Amino acid sequence: MITLAAAPFPYRFDPASTALLVIDMQRDFVEPGGFGESLGNDVSRLAAIVPTVTKLLDWCRTRGMLVVHTREAHRPDLADCPPAKRMRGAPSLRIGDPGPMGRILVDGEPGAGFVPGLTPAPGELELVKPGKGAFHATGLDALLRARAISHLLFAGVTTEVCVQTTMREANDRGYECLLVEDATESYFPAFRQATLEMIRAQGAIVGWTAPFDAFP
């Protein structure tokens, strides 16, 4: 068992029954020219966590832990992208539109792929999801239960949207969740901070948080 100095109290887990979920570290969100920038965001904030996510991946791989990488991406015909999602707001590019890295958030296009250095290693799972949460319209729960996973570590982007949504989905399904604080980021610093506080409030109502330095 490993015990981390976490908030709101120590987090204990067995690597054999714990998986790392790396959420949506995709070029469309992290690199210039992608969907994140088309919404008017400063993507450099997200790019800054890549080194910490890399270290966390190495830590988990060294211990033989299950690693799951998710990508938010849609079918080329956008049949799995409801109009309520595609038409929201006024971005310069919408999901499915052609952009500098191919069609925005369409599976198989360069922008929907992982940022360099964070591609899955052999044996790791890659999960394409059509929504914000990784449990929605995917087989994630069955994959985890088939491997007797009870605890989840989280990294990725963005903190308040896809990461938090997936953590809440996992919490409702009985998983014990910890978000690695410096391995997640938002385009909005206040949103990231508020999410960390919401997750660990009221005695870890959603889960725990801890920085990577807490890992032994």
55 noted as active-site residue = no
| Residues near 169 by beta carbon (within 8 Å), at least 6 away in sequence | 133, 134, 135, 136
Give the active site residue among 60, 81, 162, 177: 162
Query: Would you say 27 and 111 are in contact if contact means Cβ atoms under 8 Å apart?
Result: yes
Give the active site residue among 60, 129, 132, 177: 129
148's torsion region: left (phi>0), alpha (psi -120 to 50) or beta? left
Give the active site residue among 24, 28, 81, 177: 24
Query: For the CA atoms of 181, 186, 188, 192, what is the dihedral angle to 10 degrees?
Result: -30
DSSP state string for 147-159? TT--EEEEEEE-I
Dist CA 151 CA 68 (whole Å): 13
103's torsion region: left (phi>0), alpha (psi -120 to 50) or beta? beta
213 noted as active-site residue = no
129 noted as active-site residue = yes
Q: Kindly list the catalytic residues.
A: 24, 129, 162
